[in-house]
Every structure is written in structure tokens, then in C-alpha cells.
Structure 1
């Protein structure tokens, strides 16, 4: 029954009469963001990005804040979530629910038809979301397929299509300026209230891409605003450029299988990946190339800007996005880094002294890095547990995998259908050999004279086998003999003595 106090409304810009709405997963309850879009008198687009003002409910240094800092993020699992903030906040009072007055921090951006940003305005607001759209419904609006939709949803059609057009302009401009996007496939594991487990691929619609574009825009604009205003102590998300040596190794690996990748810069890598997509029409190989390429790139990390930082500094560059500063602002309900960014931005808007010290910011950056890794690992482990539980009671699936790494001893396979990326063994009774001339790994079927040769980007058929190890369920990959639909990989029988192989030398039992 909580209502926004009138004195708080008086301090903010009232946008409750504007056409504002959210686009999120169908059953999401922690709604961080809403959008709006109108035309200006000059014909430009005025895009509003409205983010939940969680900082209003979580004072800095309070017990609630300290607990949120310790958690740093919301943990998501197939059957439930462990929120960073109490549910009364994350799913209700902070959440930008449909037809409810809510507090927000808004960014209004005036954008030309060429994607140039004319003006940016940051302010605290009061909003009322007219509708919570899921991605599938938003996609129907984008495609103008509105026959089956309610009138209240159809009324948003023109605005959604306008937002989509602007996001496409921004996206094309971003890639023209050197941004990079690696193809990837993800799966979603769900367990409902009846303990029914389902596994299905995560499909990226135009509506998903549209929302992502506006979140990237808001995060970049906020980081630039803070760096310009306060310089030091800004929490940014940085991803260093890969070394030329690692990129050259990636290029040579691709050449071995007749895949050409130009590593001159981000734009040429992106063009090479797009050409690969057009030529091959093979999603599995595209994912494998991206997987191998990702090993050349550094992981993104949170960092805290120092006293020497200016808007022209390059040491916090995000190489994928090709921007000098990138922050996290758009998910304050479920990420502590975003909550911190809100506090810093509000201090700037209200011309107050920064409430968070530089020492605290450095500690928060380290903590957010650690907890992000923990959350990702926990989510992957939970997915594997539920997949193993499901497969343990069903017939073991046989699916296609692809080689993404070959060493003199083992082979790593990527199986996107079950989110598996791991080294596989070929069994104790399987004879194996490493060929240095073409960097291929040969193994022989048990009780057979036939050899199978695999190298980078070779496709093989694998069986997904649930296993119990140290009281924890997981998944193993078993290469089938003979591999289904892979007869072209069979190597003609020949004497082992004629093979040019590299064998590991036997280790002496003596200790030096």
C-alpha cells in the first residue's frame, strides 16, 4: 500500500502522462527499465530511457546496502532466484510495474536520423508504465503483426516501430565505428512448480537486440557523464584489447581449415565473421570460430578510474564496444555496480560532494568482479545439475559437436545444444596419436583398425551422458564409434610406424 510521498514527487519531473512501457521476459518481475520515444519539432527522435531508482530505497551505508554489497548481484537458477535486494523491493516497490507510479532515473536523448546525438538530459522522475510487453509481443509489433493483440498493446505499435528504427540506426553506426559482436548460442534451463525440467535454445529476436542497443547507449552515456563531471572514482567496465600475438595465433588456426579472418582491427574481424556467416550458413561452425576467437580476448572487468582520468583517457577502453568508457547503469535492482553508478550520477545531478570514497570504490570494483564470477559459475553448475537430472531419466541424446581445441593429448568439444565446452577422453582402450604436420588428433576405435582424424572445427557426433562425481551431478561427452554421419573423417588404415607422430616422452621415476 506504499505510495510515493508528494514532497518526493515535487522534487522530480513528472512523466506519468507520457507513453512509457517496458519490454522484458514474459514472467520477469524485477523490471529495471522502460522506454519512450517521440518526434521533436526539428524531426529528430527524443528517446527516453527510464531506469528504476533503487537508490531511493537503499541509503548508502545502511544495513540493507551492506547486504546488497555483499551479494553484489542477483543469482538466477532454473527453479528460482536469490535476489540482491529483498523481494518487496526487487519485485514490487522498485520494479517498474504496469499501471503503478514508480520512481526512476531518466535519460532523454535527442538523436538525428543519422544516429548523431544532439542533446542528452539526465534527471530523476516519476513514471507510470502503461504496459509490460514481453519480447515476443514486441516482436509482433515490430513486424506489424497486430491482429491477435489487445487494443492497449496495438496502441504502442507506432512507438515500438519508431524505437526499432532508431536502434537499427544506432547499431549500424556503432559497427561502422569499430564495434565487434561475436556470435554465440545460449540455452535456457527451466524448472516449473511441478518440477518439470525443460531445455530450449535462447532465441534472440529483433526486440531483444533493440533493448540491448538502448541499454548500451544508456550505460555509455552515463559513464561519459560521470568521467566528465568527477574524473576519478568512477566504476567502469573495461575490456582490454587482445595482443596481436594471440590474434595472429587465432588467424593461423583458422587458415589451417581454410577460414580467412582479417585481424587488422575490430571492423575487419567483424567483416570476416559476417562473410563467414554468408558463405557457410553454418551456425555450429560460426559458434566454434567465435569460441576460439574469444580465447584471444581478455575478460571484461570492473575498474575504478584514478586521479589522472579525463574524457580522452584510453586505459579503460572497452574493446568490443570500441568506447573509451562504459559503465553499468541500467539494472540497479539486480546489480550493485549499477546501484553505485546511480548514486554517483544523482550526486552529480544534485551538485553534491561524492558520497563514496575512492578507497571504497576500489573495494567495490574488486568485490563486483569476484561476485560476478561466482554468480556465473553457480548458474552454470545449476543448469548442469538440472540437465543431468533430466537426462538421467530419459534416453541419452546423441547430438552434433565441434572441435574447438586440439592438443597432443586431448580434444575440446563445443556442444551448444547443451551448453557444453569441455575436453573429452576417448577411453582407456582407445589408441590415440598426435600429428604435428596438420595439428590433428587421430584415434582408433576399440577392436578395429579404422582411424578417425579430428582437428580444429571438425564435427563429431557425441552422446550426452549424465554422471555423478563427488556427490554432484554433471554431464560427460562421449564420442561415438563410429561417428554418425562422419564417415568422411575415417583415415585409411596404414602402419603406425609410417605415421609422423609426436609422442610424449616417458617420465623417469628418478627425482632430481
Structure 2
């Protein structure tokens, strides 16, 4: 008997529930013995798919109005929120878990929650019934020697509880090596020597109900100020796999670089064509190469050649299992954690110039409107003629004599690439595709991994060429696989109406709108204190709007604000109103790209879903039942990698600002809340807070209905988009926070009571 069979049976019953005795009788009549039923029930209950009520009935959690399953997100003060797997009827947002109940689990744990109260606003309270799956098998933190014993204080403040280290478990037999350099070997002879060191701990007993957990030290990473210790901490905090198993390394070492005759069997030979790679100056793994020509009928021919990782990484092998576990490569400022061993990622699979390399090729023909009229996918072999960079392609196309002379045989090819890329871009624009073409911060570091400054990441026509070609290939592959059967897609769902309306409120203060209709009027009600007495809340009752939102609404607004002072702040707020893209076996389209079908095909060296797509194209994909779980785990890996990358960069920014206390900066107000004004330094892309009680010249309160902070006497306002001159007052390295103060008010802006007219000048 399968799990799905039992779930389907219960879901079809009256009221969607049944007792164990009832299930034994009904399923027994269908030939399912009691001994077979019991383990299935236990397994589904442990997974949170079924829950047993006090009445003895089993009910599907997904259909219950009393229970919900999801991930616990804890606050450092102890309370938490359940981020539910599926929305619950009548509930808006996450479910609040008070401190007394949240103590039963750790941050990130998968838990089953009983919903105890749902208010008129849709906000809900709940209590943890059970922990379904632990998120933290290990914890990284600082070793402390105190009177009552030895403990590790978790680096992640949301974990809160100290982990006790029993006698004899303080020093690992062989401390694991790290990737740091310039550090003298550690000499730890007794537990007292570890005081103040950063260690990694395996949890043996989880903390619960205010009691400390217990664990053993498995790694001694170094002292807090050691070179590279920040990377080591972040890797372990986010549980990123970073050491390849011996079996995977042995397999990689045994793969020959030279191609044999059998490697070339059944492959198209593209080695006589002037195929090129175009990447950044510091790139080391080249997984895509391109070629463009004009067909005899005047159409455009586009070849996108992608490293054929699937030829070397076969399903179920040690490298494949590790790649699936990692899901993605992770890129830090001073190092990377590759998805594949270096022998593959930077050598055998990398499309290095003047070397024969195996590829999986997308061969496409487009008409002059950018419409795809023919497609073919085939294994191939190429020999890239040049390793181009975005910089030298841009220089060549801009007419720089030195670059045009150096790459003279390729000039016409690159000029045709530019022409065709703009055809593809115009096609995307016509259908409504969103393009946030904002400069990204490029953080500069010295040889010791210390931040030295920030510049704007260059973006030129060469970036546009590769972006358009990769988008075209991914769409063509997605359409082909969708017609062939089950697949993995890169989906981007419709935005949440509530987020869209919140953005509309912000945009309206600048005189803009997405053009989706009137904003519903907010009504405010005041709730009683939380049962644990920790906080009081004001509820916002907002009817769920029925929106007909399309990417074209965003596209039009982006065009309106282009080049305006408010472009960056509104673009950031627009991005926040959209959902995150993810992987799925259910194709719901890609909202931002205005694409009916989209997938990831172009980066199998660094993304596991791309490798699965290659296997599907080659007819050797996994069973359909595995595609959903693979998509889910890869989405989780992608989020963990992104969070780790952001955290490390934020940490390095904090270290950079430590020496700038008292300095003044130009800043942009990116948010206003009851806590104060959040600002971003305009030249450094560094964020911080001006606390509301430090704002000068008045007593200020936050007006949620206006999304403004207003002075009680002067009526001076602070709003999103204000430009301020700020002074750095405090650097909190432990909490990774910066505190600023308003340096001077050039022209205070007063509001007119009850009037919402044109805004005055910002600071």
C-alpha cells in the first residue's frame, strides 16, 4: 500500500477523516492487511501529512482547519512564526507562535502547529504540536568556559539556547582542516584552551522548554578575528556541503580529459565553426558558447552550445549524488563552493578555447520578428576559437581600434550578434517581459578578503547579447520538453495581491501607479495583547483585492521612471512585490519574463536542475515522480546559497564601516516603520537604520496609513524616497547592524494636516 493510496482514501471519506478501526475495516475489505496499514499511518503522521485528533480520527493536514505544517522562523527574543507549506483558509500571512510554545523547537525546524485563534484580520496564533524534522544537525558558535560547565553560544542568534558540551566531548580526535591560509596550526590540549574559539558542534540532544541541549565539538575553526573565519562560519551556519566525499573525488580523478572515439559517437561536429565564449574577466568555468549566422532565407540562425555535463555525471554515481545534495554552486567574494569537483567544473567540462569539448546544443532559427520557427537539440563537440570577455566584445562593437584589429575575423559575427540580440529583446518587450536594468553593486576586496570599496557593476551590450541568447535557448528547451512529457521548469508565479497593493500605496506617494485600479481603503482595529504579554498589535483589515495584474503593468511603470531620481527606490519596491522564482514540475509559466514555458538549460556546471534538463533532452531523465522532489530540494538549495552569499557580504560591509564612525554620507530612505527610517548609502549600497527616537527637533510617530514618520509639533515628515545626509553613529558587528543619525536638515518638510497633496522637497 502506498502513501498516496491511503491519503486519497481518507480524502474521499465524509468529512475527510477516519479512525484507525474504520481504516482497518474499509481497507481490509480491499485486501490491505492491518500490518501493512500501520507503518504507512506512522510514516504519514511523522511527515505531517496526517494528524491524529483527540477524537482518534486521522485527518489530512492539508484539509484541516485546525492544523498546519511548515517551517518555524524564530526571532531572537524567543517568539516565532510558522511559514506554512500551504495557505490555510481564513489565515493571512504567517502564524504567530508565542515564546512558551516556540521553545519546543529550533529556528528552521519543520513543525506541526495547532491553530488556536484566527482573528477577523486573518492573523492567526498557534502552538507547536510536534517537531517533524530538525533543521540543524550541527551548530556553529563560540566555545565558552563558565563555572557551570562548557557551552557553545550559537552564532545564529535565532537559535538562542546554549549547547552544553559534556566532559570528554570538547576536543575532536582530528580537527577538520579549513581552507584558510596564514594560520598557525592549532594546539588545543585541554578544554580551557578552547575558550573564545569558534567551533562546530554536532547536536546530541536538542534544547527544549528552556533546557540547554547537548553536543560534541566536531570542528575547531579558529578565533573570531582569524583570516577567513567569516566564510567558515557562514558555510556551517547555512549547512552548505563544502567537502567532496572521497568517492566523488576518486571518480573525478579517474575521468580522462582527452576525448576518445567513443565519446564522439552520435555527436554533431561543430569544430569547424567560429564558436566563442563570452564571460566576465574573472570567470573560470565556461559552460556556454554561442554562434550566430544568417540563413539563406534571411532568418537568424542561433547555436547555443552548453557543456555536456550529463556525459560525465551519470545518475546515481558519487558525483551525481553530491551534486544533487548541493543543488548549486555558491559564490563568495574570495572563494567558491562548486557543485562539481574542480576537475570537471574548471577543466574537463569547461569550454576552454582551442580545446575539444563535448556539448549539448540548441540549434534555433528565428524570423525577423524574433519568433522561433525551427529548433533542434543534439549532442555535439566544439572547439571554441576565442575566450571573449564582456569588456572586449563591448569595446570591439564600440569601435575600439585595438580590439577590432585583434579580433578582425570575428567582427561581422559580433555585429550580427548585436543586431539579433536587439531583435530578441524587442520581441520580449512587445509581449510584456519585465527588465529591471539597474546597476548592481560590485564590492571590491583586497587579498585578505577585506572590503575596500564599492563600484557599480558594468553592464554593456555584450551582457545583453548573452542574456538574450540564453533566455531564447531556455524557452526553446522548455517548449520542447513540455510537448514531450514531464519536466522541470523555472516558474515565476503571479504576484500576491496584497504585496501589489502595498507597492501601489508606495508608488502613489511619488505620483505613480501600476494602473490596476483603485486601492482599497484600509480599516484599522486594535487587538488585545498577545497571550504571552510580549507585544501589542494593530490589525489592518484589507479586503483581498481581485487584481488583473500582468507583467506589462510593471513594464510600463519601469519605462515611466527610467532616469528619474526615484527610479532605484521604486524598482526595489517593485521587486519586493514580486514572488521569488523557483523550480517546479508543474508549469505555471514565468510571470516576469511573460513566458508560457521556461526552464534552466544553460548552466549545468553550477545548477543541478540544468543537468536534469539535459538528461531529459537526451531521453535519460529521472522518473516523473522524482521531478517534484528534485525541483523542491533545488529551490531550497538555491535559497540557502543566496542567503549565505548575502550574509557574508553584509558581514564584510559591517567590517568595512567599523573604521568610519562619525563619517557623513548621502543616503536614500528605503523604508519607514515604527522603528525609524531605513536608509541606503548612495555610493556604497550599504543599509542601516536611523532610530525614530533619534530624529532631530521633535517627537515623531509612525503613521502607518500614510507610510510616513511625522513630527508631533513641526509636522516634519520622513518618507520612502527622501534623500538625507546621515552620520554613522554605531556599528554592531554581533547583530550586523549599522545605526545612523540625521546629520543636518537642509529644508524641513512640513505636512498639512488632513491634506495629501503634492509633497515638498526632501531633505
Same fold (TM over 0.5): yes
Q: 1:113 aligns with which of 358, 365, 368?
A: 368
Q: 1:183–1:286: 8 Å Cα contact kept in structure 2?
A: no
Match of 1:482 in 2: 744
Find 2:279's aligned residue among 19, 24, 34: 24
Instruction: Confirm or deny that 1:442 pairs with 2:701.
Output: no
RMSD: 2.7
Q: Secondary structure at the match of 1:118?
A: strand
The aligned residue for residue 379 of structure 1 is 645
Alignment: residue pair count: 465
The structure with more radius of gyration = 2
**Residues 13-54 of structure 1: per-residue CA shift (max 9 Å, x gap):** 111110100110012111110110112111211111111111
**Following TM superposition, by how much is the alpha carbon of 1:116 offset from its aligned partner in structure 2, in angstroms?**
2.0
| Residue 130 (structure 1) aligns with | 385
SS at match of 1:65: helix
Q: Are 1:433 and 2:715 matched, yes or no? A: no
8 Å Cα contact 2:728-2:741 kept in structure 1: no
Tell me the equivalent position of 2:571.
Answer: 290
2:584 counterpart of 1:336: no
Cα shift at 1:183: 4.2
Unaligned runs of 5+ in 2: 1-255, 517-548, 755-763
Q: CA deviation at 1:76?
A: 0.6
Q: CA deviation at 1:466?
A: 7.3
Contact kept in structure 2, 1:23 and 1:133, CA below 8 Å: yes
- 1:37-80 deviation line (CA, Å, top 9, x unaligned): 11211121111111111111111111111111111111111111
List per-residue Cα deviations over 1:420-442 (Å, max 9, x = no partner).
45654245686322346744203
The correspondence of residues 349-360 of structure 1 with structure 2, limited to 5 A, is 354-360=620-626
Structure 2 residue 568 is matched with structure 1 residue 300 = no
Q: How far has the Cα of 1:490 moved from its partner?
A: 4.5
Runs of 4 or more consecutive aligned structure 1 residues displaced over 6 Å after TM superposition: none
> Which residue number in structure 2 is paired with residue 38 of structure 1?
293
**Deviation at residue 413 of structure 1 after TM alignment:** 3.0
1:173-218 Cα distance to aligned partner (Å, 9 max, x none): 1111111123434212243545564432212111111111111111
**CA displacement 1:110-159 (0-9 Å, x = unmatched):** 112221222111111100111111111010122232x1227452322211
Q: Which of the residues 538, 552, 572 maps onto 1:267? A: 552
Tell me how far apart the structure 2 counterparts of residues 420 and 7 of structure 1 sit (CA, whole Å): 54
Report deviation, 1:254. 1.7
8 Å CA contact retained: 2:588, 2:596: yes
Aligned to 2:459: 204
Deviations 1:77-118 (A, max 9, x none): 111111111111111111001111101111111112221222
CA distance in 2, matches of 1:464, 1:16: 58
Q: In 2, distance between residues paired with 1:10 and 1:436?
A: 67
- Do structure 1's residue 410 and structure 2's residue 676 form an aligned pair? yes
Conserved? CA contact 1:388–1:466, under 8 Å: no
TM-score (norm 1): 0.84
Matched residue SS, 2:743: coil
Per the alignment, in what secondary structure is the counterpart of residue 148 of structure 1? helix
1:65 and 2:320 aligned:
yes
Deviation string, structure 1 residues 236-273 (Cα, Å, up to 9, x no partner) = 11111124454344223322232344246322431222
Instruction: Specify every segment of 5 or more residues in structure 1 that has no aligned partner in the other structure, as ranges.
Output: 306-314, 348-353, 493-497, 501-512
> Are residues 1:254 and 2:254 paired?
no
User: How far off is 1:359 after superposition?
Assistant: 3.1
Pairing 1:467–2:726 present: no
If asked which structure has higher relative contact order (CA below 8 Å, sep 6+), I would say: 1
Stretch moving more, 183-192 or 324-333: 183-192
Q: CA 1:462/1:183 → structure 2, altered by over 3 Å: closer, same or farther?
A: farther
Does 2:268 correspond to 1:13?
yes
Distance 1:378 1:397 in 2: 29
Q: Compute the TM-score of the two structures, normalised by the length of structure 2.
A: 0.57
Taking the aligned partners of 2:449 and 2:556, their CA distance within structure 1 comes to 45
Superposed counterparts of 1:189-268, under 5 Å: 189-193=443-447, 195=449, 197-198=451-452, 199-230=454-485, 232=486, 234-263=487-516, 265-268=550-553
Measured in 2, the distance between the counterparts of 1:136 and 1:143 equals: 11
